[in-house]
Chain A
């Protein structure tokens, strides 16, 4: 099928970008979205033009690298899907597809569709971990965790840090990302020691990185490839209020 593309091209963080038009003739409905992008780049190489740069890694929906805005939606028209798991069968012959990078002040554009999501790492570095002495692995049954609690913590830990929550949020808030980590560790016994300090430090860092606030539109949960629940945000607020009242 024939596909018309409008893609954001930007040479460097400092230079202004613009949408540029491309056409692709032999797109198969079985191609993944990223394979379609590969096809475009091959054609650009043959014409000795600079390829469209975009982030990608595993291409099986688990690494969270392939973030882009497709037709005005994070990761494209499907819900709960990464870009690499989107296929061209979701589009029709003759469709025009707008492709833009994730946009947020905290996610500066590196080039074309590539954005710098280092701000997420800084939030995790602030306190998204538990401090433990290294040494021999502890006895597996030393700390008992109920199955339901373990599963709930796993659900929160499933976040792949793709940034779709920020991209789709009208306030560019990173609260779904931050709250998932806070909930995960608040649920587990290992996370209790630093529980109050953690939430304060991570929320402070989230603000310092320049992310916005949460207005509970719940758009993030819809676009999240891992279906991370917005209730984690409420849980983070609970943890934050609790920490503010009892220990800070």
Chain B
């Protein structure tokens, strides 16, 4: 059966909201990095060990990979459809005046996030799963030292911070847009979703932006 554009959008919304949910869990766990260095090392290494040995987390990580890939692939398909639907370009185009910048550039923001993900996975996932690592006093892999080493140089912190800003603008539009796609139409709940979206974005973006800076200052 041929999929309608609304069905494509449902995949975007579904995978997007799943990734939104994942970000909450990811941030909550990583907040342990805000503790003073010695305490953070002990806590975070224990937490990493807990996740690494858990079958459920393995399954979720596979679902996560699929969700990210599906989100990107469907975005590309939809972008292709848009190109076809638009036809000839306007010679003089000021349509951008009537809609927010981030809502028109979700693809660009998404690309920044995707590039960041490659860097991010190389920094942590690759190091923890595919290299031999030092152990801490408890005998766990010393992930905290990897974090400290990663956020050792200011320009590396800058890459992370800029990516989080891109993520923030992506979430600000994506969160409420997904709710619309799912069919939330009542004005009362629409407002609620807007406010929740703002709070959610502030929490996620602010939280993630804080971590590299605090880790840098603590070491």
Contacts and interface: CB of A to CB of B under 8 A. Distances in A.
11 contacts: A72-B92, A105-B84, A212-B82, A212-B85, A213-B6, A214-B5, A217-B104, A223-B98, A233-B180, A234-B185, A234-B190
Nearest to A229: B187
Interface in A89-134: 98, 100, 103-106
Residue of A6, A19, A206, A217 most packed against chain B (CB within 10 A):
A217
Contacts of A6: 91-92
Given A170-B104, A204-B4, A213 B82 contact: yes
A19 B93 CA distance: 14
A181 to B, nearest CB: 15
Q: How would you classify the secondary structure of chain B's contact residues: helix, strand, loop or mixed? A: helix
Give 5 nearest A-B pairs by CB, closest first.
A238-B183, A72-B94, A212-B85, A234-B185, A105-B87
Contacts of A103: 86-90
A72 B100 CA distance: 16
A168 B82 contact: no
A106 B183 contact: no
A62 B112 CA distance: 44
A171 B185 contact: no
Interface of A: 6, 8, 19, 69, 71-74, 79, 98, 100, 103-106, 168, 170-173, 203-204, 206-207, 210-219, 222-223, 230-235, 237-242
Question: Max chain A CB contacts within 10 Å: which of B5, B78, B104?
Answer: B5
Nearest to B5: A213
Nearest to A74: B95
A222 B181 CA distance: 20
A237 B100 CA distance: 22
Interface in B169-191: 173, 176-177, 179-185, 187, 190
A215 to B, nearest CB: 7
A235 B89 CA distance: 30
A170 B97 CA distance: 12
Contacts of A217: 99-100, 103-104
Interface string B61-96: 000000000000000001001101111111111110
Contacts of A19: 91
A148 B94 CA distance: 37
Given A213-B9, A238-B183, A168 B86 contact: no
Given A237-B183, A238-B183, A238-B184, A219 B95 contact: yes
Given A235-B185, A237-B181, A242-B183, A100 B90 contact: yes
B92 A100 contact: yes
Given A71-B94, A213-B5, A171 B180 contact: no
A72 B106 CA distance: 22
Contacts of A8: 91
A71 B106 CA distance: 25
B10 interface: yes
Nearest to A172: B85
A32 to B, nearest CB: 21
A216 B177 contact: yes
B57 to A, nearest CB: 31
B86 A105 contact: yes
B116 interface: no
Task: Name which of B78, B86, B177 has the most chain A CB atoms within 10 A of its CB.
Answer: B86
